[in-house]
Structure 1
Amino acid sequence: MEDNAQTVLFERCGGKWKRILRFLQSVEQSCILPLEGITLLISNSSVYSCGSSLCGVLGQGPETKLCVTFTQISFPSPAHVVQMSASHNHAAFVMQSGEVFTCGDNSSFCCGHKDTNRPIFRPRLVEAMKGIPCKQVVAGLNFTAFLTRQGHVYTCGANTHGQLGHGDTTDSPTPKIIEFLKQIGSIIQIAAGPSYVLAANQLKFL
């Protein structure tokens, strides 16, 4: 970092480097999308966000279009967030309980709520996954994949390229299990790109 950049940052921090360092060291997971101007991070099981929030991806409410400082996201009930994922227009959060909350642009039903195709500005429980504890979520381009504690994968949202893994190109307004993956054993990890989902089983096969 150049000297002038360090000086600017030092002034913005009020000269309190140690406080900033302690905060950064407490970060358990971060999700940074520089092109979209979105940053989310987990610290002490709470989620903080900043950046652009035109479609609700920051989870700060409809009145927030731009957030210039890290602000804690409020959930409907006390929540301990263990994992999260975000794309340019939506975010998903896994709780310690295994419940999943989502927020953002739901026009493609990527948030898993079939009762509305409007933006969801604050985290909302995905009712279709209630009673199906999850351990990981991944947000793709207008779709979401859920990995359950039992090793099953569910997907919802846009399916133009067959990225939901159901053998068709039909969009899914609520999470639906990928039947094919049940045949290859328990899935231990998933990943997603703009138009695809990857899943690894216990033998580390994709």
Structure 2
Amino acid sequence: MNDPQLMEDDVEQELWSWGAGTDAQLGTGRLEDNNLPQLVRTPSLSSAPAISFLSCGGAHVIALTAGGGVLTWGRGNSGQLGLGDMISSLHPKPVMRLGSYFITHVSAGWSHSGFVSDEGKLYTCGDGSFGQLGHGDYQLRCFPEEVLFFSDKHVDKIACGMRHSLALVKVYGFGAGKRGQLGISKKIQTVNLPILSSNLEAAEIVGIAAGGDHSAALSAEGHLYTWGRGFKSTSDVYSPQHLPSPSSFSKVALGWNHALVLTDEGELYMLGGKHHGALSDSEMLNSMKSLPGDSREDNFQAVPALSGIKVLDIAAGAEHSVIVTEDGGVKTWGWGEHGQLGLGDTCDHTNPQTVNLNLKLESTAYDVKVYCGSGFTVAVATSNLPN
């Protein structure tokens, strides 16, 4: 074996990162961009339970372990790492303040972070200047602090965007709201306490996502709702709108100008975002397959280069896209200035390109999950070793 990271319960796991790294967000111990995937090798990861979920923000990362623990690294100038200071961390470090809780969900925003415990408690830290921490003020916090508004409710998930947050109870929004991203039916600059989003009362929401200035939710029936800044038009939407589609969606990922949505059958569709090729190049745009049923500008379109390819996982950075295909391959396209596409260059690519992860796992049977920050990408490969 070539020094893979061995986790407990016979799980073998590797974490790879690439792209913007000058704020330590790659976890490699170096303050530099990387154009190719780098294997993250640190004692804190090797000694921790396997990573079960990960979230990337503007320039920091939160890793949730199978044991309910939390590790953070990257930019910490606003206290978003939850480590009690405003210092960036070159390597993953455990968030000791959450050590007595079993954390079940995490989210990294531009400069703030959210953590949900198995008891349904929500904790936030980092930049609060837009009210995005939900504590009723606009203060910065260096340690995760419970959002007392939800003390008598059970929070299931948290989604942190650029300057706003969503909490899944029903769906509550807090933070910046001038583009409609809070979903409260009116234009408002900031909200520092959670407010119930409108138009979702009848839907059983199971997933939420927060991007730059927009938000999304998925229902148990696979319906997609979006609100905030429009993906193609300049119009803002102030309350959640159901986007009609004959397909049932299982996952949504939001960038700054585009969204990826994945169907139950593994088909990938996109909303908006031609900039930097995040959607597709102009020559291919006219030939893109669109889902029927919606005449609005924000309609679903498929990427022709992925026709017939089953997609298992999706992630969206600020202006780049990453997917995992059925054979375990990773493909990227879009903005590439910082090497976030992992292709060995800093060019924009308008068509999906295959990334060579050079995995060192012993097993040939493994799962890959992908995650995007603003200008960087992380992939976690996991396999079950034979007993």
TM-score tier, shorter chain, comes to 0.7 to 0.9
C-alpha spacing 1:116/1:150, structure 2 compared with 1 (3 Å): closer
TM-score relative to the length of structure 1: 0.74
C-alpha spacing 1:163/1:37, structure 2 compared with 1 (3 Å): closer
The residue number in structure 2 matching 1:166 is 343
Using CA pairs under 8 Å that are at least 6 residues apart, name the structure with larger relative contact order, 1 or 2: 2
Shift of 1:21: 5.7
The residue number in structure 2 matching 1:192 is 372
The CA deviation string for residues 8-30 of structure 1, in whole angstroms up to 9 with x for no partner, is x9xx89xxxxx96663xx21211
The whole-number CA distance in structure 2 between the counterparts of 1:121 and 1:201 is 34
Q: Which runs of 5+ in 1 are unaligned?
A: 2-8, 14-18, 57-61
CA contact (8 A) 1:152 1:187 kept: no
Aligned amino acid, residue 81 of structure 1: F
The residue number in structure 2 matching 1:30 is 208
The whole-number CA distance in structure 1 between the counterparts of 2:244 and 2:352 is 24
The CA deviation string for residues 38-90 of structure 1, in whole angstroms up to 9 with x for no partner, is 1100012010111121x42xxxxx4x712122111134xx1110111001211
Q: Does 1:133 align with 2:293?
A: no
Aligned amino acid, residue 244 of structure 2: S
The residue number in structure 1 matching 2:153 is none
The residue number in structure 1 matching 2:258 is 90
TM-score relative to the length of structure 2: 0.41
Shift of 1:181: 4.5
Q: Which runs of structure 2 are paired with 1:5-154 in the superposition (5 Å)?
A: 23=203, 26-33=204-211, 36-43=212-219, 44-53=221-230, 55-56=231-232, 62=233, 65-75=235-245, 78-115=246-283, 121-154=298-331
The whole-number CA distance in structure 2 between the counterparts of 1:181 and 1:97 is 28
CA contact (8 A) 2:200 2:240 kept: no
Identity of aligned residues (%): 19
Shift of 1:183: 6.9
Give the number of equivalent residue pairs. Answer: 177
Aligned amino acid, residue 240 of structure 2: F
Secondary structure, aligned partner of 1:163: coil
The CA deviation string for residues 110-141 of structure 1, in whole angstroms up to 9 with x for no partner, is 12345268xx7321011111111012111102
Q: Which runs of 5+ in 2 are unaligned?
A: 1-148, 150-171, 173-183, 186-198, 286-296
The whole-number CA distance in structure 2 between the counterparts of 1:20 and 1:198 is 32
Shift of 1:177: 1.1
Shift of 1:32: 2.0
The whole-number CA distance in structure 1 between the counterparts of 2:378 and 2:358 is 11
Aligned amino acid, residue 68 of structure 1: Y
Shift of 1:182: 6.4
Aligned amino acid, residue 93 of structure 1: V
CA contact (8 A) 2:253 2:260 kept: yes
Secondary structure, aligned partner of 1:180: coil
Structure showing greater Rg: 2
Secondary structure, aligned partner of 2:305: helix
The CA deviation string for residues 174-201 of structure 1, in whole angstroms up to 9 with x for no partner, is 1111133467664421111011111111
Aligned amino acid, residue 41 of structure 1: A
The whole-number CA distance in structure 2 between the counterparts of 1:74 and 1:22 is 16
C-alpha spacing 1:39/1:171, structure 2 compared with 1 (3 Å): same
C-alpha spacing 1:88/1:49, structure 2 compared with 1 (3 Å): same
Which of the pair is proportionally richer in helix?
1
